[in-house]
Chains A and B, each alone.
Chain A
């Protein structure tokens, strides 16, 4: 974290390398957060580019280098929201169709049941309310501990844990609901 503060200070002075390092360090969760907001990966790169641009132009406004991650999360949320307002809403079907299923079908031994489960999970993630979706995606993008996730989301750690628990329950209920309805159909 001390390194990150030093990088923030250098970036504020206009050091391009420092700025790039900062973004690279935080890229995983940043991408996850934006994905959590957009609920699909259609315009992920465009929004991330806007976030980078905002960081480049506004880094001098970061007063406390220790709070860089919280600041970056706010910037990312704002850009994602701006993008969501601009773009036409996509149906869930479109979102699911845009999902590259080949990405996890490379392993020939992977069974159909697991693929179906993954599809159902993705379906459930996309239908989660935003605050639950972002915490769930952050937790599964990797790279952040609970304390850092709470900082990024700007909520107490207990709130973050409860949200994650509820998100898991909602997804589980969604999957179980699907399974039950499939059994009934059979």
Chain B
């Protein structure tokens, strides 16, 4: 397409869109009067313009109106108005985050600290220890609770007792030297 055609197309486009100046209108009129092809192009573009307007208008006209859509959006926004209350600027948000992090860390510290049992608490005997009847049979020996190969520094000796309950089941009781007693384990194979 030549430069003249492009210029003519621009002029026709401006004319159809209502953007043409009086000077340009004059030029266009001259071109149209002198050139049959220009008239044909003008007619094609005019028809295209008219149909395009109709088609796009019918496409865009579908659906709800501006007021209805705006009202819907307004109501939707009102539902989330609490968000605006919480809206804070960047620095304040940073400070709030920092404070929250500090408090969380502090809380975590206390929770973990309370989870650690002080040494004297470990001496409290488990429930089963209080129920050990007097008829504990006999000590069966002394055995290390920790494998000496695994840890050379820590070694603790325990006494083992065998106890038979009312139903005749044998129990193996681990009695620590320090007076601690761990929950008993049922040893069915002991006879």
Contacts and interface: CB of A to CB of B under 8 A. Distances in A.
Contacts of B64: 45
B9 interface: yes
Given A104-B55, A121-B52, A49 B77 contact: no
Nearest to A139: B17
B27 interface: no
User: Would you call the interface of chain A mostly helix, strand, loop, or mixed?
Assistant: helix
A99 B77 CA distance: 32
B93 interface: no
Those 9 A-B pairs whose CB atoms lie nearest each other, nearest first: A52-B73, A103-B58, A27-B66, A53-B73, A45-B63, A140-B56, A140-B52, A24-B66, A41-B62
Contacts of B72: 49, 52
Q: Give the bracket for the number of chain A residues in contact with chain B.
A: 35 or more
B51 A114 contact: yes
Interface stretch (B41-49, B156-164, B169-177): B41-49
A41 B60 contact: yes
Interface of B: 1, 6, 9-10, 13, 17, 19, 44-45, 47-49, 51-64, 66-67, 69-70, 72-74, 76-77, 84
Contact of B56 (A56, A57, A125, A172): A125
B59 A35 contact: yes
A23 B73 CA distance: 12
B58 A117 contact: no
A100 interface: yes
Given A44-B63, A137-B56, A146-B19, 12 more contacts: A31-B60, A32-B60, A48-B63, A57-B84, A100-B58, A114-B51, A117-B51, A140-B49, A140-B52, A145-B19, A161-B13, A169-B9
A33 B93 CA distance: 36
Contacts, number: 109
Nearest to A40: B59
Nearest to B78: A56
Interface of A: 16, 19-20, 23-24, 27-28, 31-32, 35, 40-41, 44-45, 48-50, 52-53, 55-57, 99-100, 103-104, 114, 117-118, 121-122, 125, 136-137, 139-142, 145-146, 161, 164-165, 168-169, 171-172, 175
B74 A16 contact: yes
B56 A104 contact: no
B13 A142 contact: no
B59 A172 contact: no
15 contacts: A32-B56, A40-B59, A52-B69, A53-B73, A121-B51, A137-B56, A141-B56, A142-B57, A146-B17, A168-B13, A169-B1, A171-B52, A172-B44, A172-B45, A175-B48
